[in-house]
C-alpha cells in the first residue's frame, strides 16, 4: 500500500510499505478514506520528537471503512464507516475505566522507552514515534486499529467525511480544553493559538456558555477564521502587549480562564526572548518553548483556570510558578481522552450545533503529502488545515 513516511527532519515521502495485518483478536483493519495533518505532526516533521525511525508511517487523524476484524471485535462489521480516535486505549485498565483513555496503562508496548525519555508513559498513539508504541499511522491507504472494540465510532448516517473526520483529534481536544475551564455563563475565555485546535476550543467555549472568547495569534488568516466562525475577539500578539490588552478588555482582572492551544513550539514577538528559548531548545537545555503558557498564567484572573491542551514533551524553563501559586490559579492539562467525547460531539454535529469542516483550507491527495507538509508548516497560501483524500 501507499503511505506517507517520515524520512528524517523536514522530509516525508509517499512510499510503498507492507499492508497492515490483524495481529490480535481485538484488531481491525481500516481502509482509509480521509486523513489530515495535525499541528502536532509538525513536531515530528521538525525533528523535536525522539525515537522516530526512517520509514515510519505518519498520521493520527483518520477515518475510513472497516475491511477486516479480529474474532473478539463484535461491535464492528466489515463495511462499517468509522472514525478512529488518536489515543489507543484498551478500555479495561484503571485509567480507561475512569475515562482517562489517553493514559491507558496497556496500549503502549514501548512504555519502558517512553519512561526513559519522558519519565512516564502515556497511551500508544498512531504514527507518533516508537516511544509512543511505534504504531503505523493513518496517512496511508490502510491502518491496523488495535483495541477496535473500544476506540472507533461508527458513522451511520450521511454526514460527509469532512464533518466527522476531526472527531479523531482536534475537535475533542479543543472541546476538552474548554470543558476543563468550568465555564460559567458570562465568563471570558482567552485562547492562545488560533489554529484548528484553538478554533475548536473557542467554538466549544461558546457552546459551553462563554460570553466572550478572545483569540491570540499572529497569523491574520487564523484570526479571521476564528472571528468569523466562533465570534472571537482577536489579538495579534506581534502588534500589541497581550497582558495589557487583556487587562483593558476585562476591567483589569484578566480572563476567567486561559487556554494554551499552542504547546511546545510557541513563538515570542521579542526576538531576544525567542532566541533565548530557541537556543536552549537547540542544545537540549529545555525541550519546549513555553511562551504561550507563561503568558496564559500571567494573564489569568485571580483564582482562574489555566487549561493546557497544546502538546508538550518534556521540560520548560522560567515557568511562573509564583504567579500560579500566589494567585490561587488552577492548572489543568492532558492529551485528549477522545473516546470520552466521540458520542456527545457526534450528536452536536448531527444537531447542527457545529460543522467542524470550517477549519479546512486545503484539500489534497495522499500522494501530495510532502507538498502539503511544507504548505502547512510554512503557513503558505493562508493554510489552516489540510485534509488528504486517499
What are the pLDDT digits (tens) for 189-229?
Answer: 999 999 999 999 999 999 999 999 999 999 999 999 999 99
**Which one of 290, 314, 333 terminates a domain?**
333
For the chain, the domain total comes to: 2
CA–CA dist 171, 159 (Å, integer): 16
* pLDDT given at position 365: 98
Residue 274 pLDDT level (bands cut at 50, 70, 90): confident
| DSSP-assigned beta bridge partners for residue 306 | 258, 331
Residue 72 has pLDDT above 80, yes or no: yes
From 316, 333, 350, the end of a domain falls on 333
Q: Which residues of 131-163 are buried (b: 16+ CB within 10 A; e: fewer)?
A: bbbbbbbbbbbbbbbbbbbbbbbebeeeeebbb
Q: Angle of helix 291-299 relative to helix 271-282, nearest 10 degrees?
A: 130
Q: Are 253 and 186 in contact (CB under 8 A)?
A: no
Residues 177 and 123 in one domain: no
Judge if 208 and 123 occupy the same domain: no
User: Are 143 and 221 found together in one domain?
Assistant: no
pLDDT (0 to 100) of residue 264: 76
pLDDT number for residue 288: 80
Domain housing 97: 2-169+336-389
Note the residue count of the chain.
390
In the prediction, which pLDDT does 269 show? 82
- Could you tell me which of 337, 360, 382 has the C-alpha nearest to residue 36? 360
Q: Do 190 and 222 share a structural domain?
A: yes
Are residues 165 and 181 both part of a single domain?
no
pLDDT reading at 315 higher than 90 = no
Assess whether 227 and 257 both reside in one domain.
yes
Written as nine digits, the cell of 376 is 502547512
Question: The domain that contains 141 carries what CATH number?
Answer: 3.90.180.10
**Does 265 score more than 90 pLDDT?**
no
The pLDDT score that the predictor gives to residue 281 is 77
Region 119-144: what's the mean pLDDT?
Answer: 97
Asked whether residue 291 falls in the same domain as residue 364, the answer is no
Query: What are residue 192's DSSP bridge partners?
Result: 216, 260
Q: What is the mean pLDDT of residues 356-368?
A: 98
CB 270 within 8 A of CB 294: no
Q: Per-residue pLDDT tens for 284-313?
A: 777 788 899 999 999 999 999 999 999 888
Same domain, 187 and 304: yes
Give the residue-averaged pLDDT of 236-243: 96
Residue 139 has pLDDT above 80, yes or no: yes
CB distance 63 to 81 below 8 Å: yes
The pLDDT-based confidence of 278 (bands split at 50, 70, 90) is confident
For position 281, which CATH number holds? 3.40.50.720
Q: Tell me what pLDDT residue 179 has.
A: 98
Same domain, 156 and 192: no
Model confidence at 80: pLDDT above 80:
yes
329, 341: one domain? no
Q: Are residues 61 and 96 in the same domain?
A: yes
Residues 83 and 122 in one domain: yes
Amino acid at each position: 500500500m501507499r503511505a506517507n513516511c517520515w524520512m528524517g527532519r523536514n522530509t516525508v515521502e509517499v512510499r510503498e510499505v507492507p499492508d497492515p495485518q490483524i495481529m490480535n483478536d481485538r484488531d481491525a483493519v481500516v481502509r482509509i478514506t480521509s486523513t489530515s495533518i495535525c499541528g502536532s505532526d509538525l513536531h515530528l516533521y521538525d525533528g523535536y520528537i525522539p525515537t522516530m525511525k526512517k520509514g515510519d508511517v505518519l498520521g493520527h487523524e483518520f477515518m475510513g471503512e472497516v475491511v477486516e476484524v479480529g474474532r473478539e471485535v463484535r461491535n464492528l462489521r466489515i463495511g462499517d464507516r468509522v472514525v478512529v480516535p488518536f489515543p489507543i486505549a484498551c478500555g479495561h485498565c484503571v485509567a480507561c475505566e475512569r475515562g482517562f483513555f489517553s493514559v491507558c496503562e496497556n496500549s503502549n508496548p514501548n512504555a519502558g522507552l517512553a519512561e526513559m525519555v519522558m519519565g512516564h508513559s502515556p497511551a500508544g498513539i498512531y504514527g507518533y514515534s516508537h516511544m509512543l508504541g511505534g504504531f503505523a499511522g493513518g496517512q496511508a491507504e490502510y491502518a491496523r486499529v488495535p483495541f477496535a472494540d473500544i476506540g472507533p465510532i461508527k458513522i451511520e448516517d450521511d454526514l460527509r467525511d469532512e464533518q466527522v473526520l476531526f472527531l479523531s483529534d482536534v475537535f475533542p481536544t479543543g472541546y476538552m480544553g474548554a470543558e476543563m475551564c468550568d465555564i460559567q455563563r458570562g465568563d471570558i475565555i482567552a485562547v492562545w493559538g488560533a489554529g484548528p485546535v484553538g478554533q475548536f476550543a473557542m467554538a466549544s467555549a461558546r457552546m459551553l456558555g462563554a460570553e466572550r472568547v478572545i483569540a491570540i495569534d499572529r497569523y491574520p488568516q487564523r484570526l479571521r477564521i476564528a472571528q468569523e466562525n466562533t465570534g472571537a475577539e482577536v489579538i495579534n500578539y506581534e502588534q500589541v502587549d497581550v497582558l495589557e490588552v487583556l487587562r483593558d478588555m476585562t476591567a483589569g482582572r484578566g480572563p476567567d480562564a486561559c487556554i494554551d492551544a499552542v504547546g511546545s513550539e510557541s513563538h515570542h514577538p521579542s526576538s531576544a526572548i525567542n532566541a533565548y528559548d530557541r537556543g536552549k531548545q537547540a542544545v537540549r537545555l529545555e525541550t519546549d518553548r513555553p511562551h504561550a503558557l507563561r503568558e496564559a498564567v500571567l494573564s489569568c484572573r485571580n483564582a482562574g483556570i489555566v487549561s493546557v491542551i497544546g502538546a508538550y514533551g518534556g521540560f520548560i524553563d522560567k515557568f511562573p510558578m509564583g504567579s500560579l501559586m500566589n494567585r490561587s490559579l488552577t492548572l489543568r492539562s492532558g492529551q485528549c481522552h477522545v473516546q470520552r467525547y466521540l458520542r456527545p460531539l457526534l450528536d452536536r454535529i448531527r444537531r447542527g450545533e457545529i460543522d467542524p469542516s470550517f477549519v479546512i483550507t486545503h484539500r489534497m491527495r495522499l500522494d501530495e503529502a510532502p507538498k502539503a507538509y511544507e504548505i502547512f508548516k510554512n503557513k503558505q497560501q493562508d493554510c489552516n488545515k489540510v485534509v488528504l483524500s486517499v
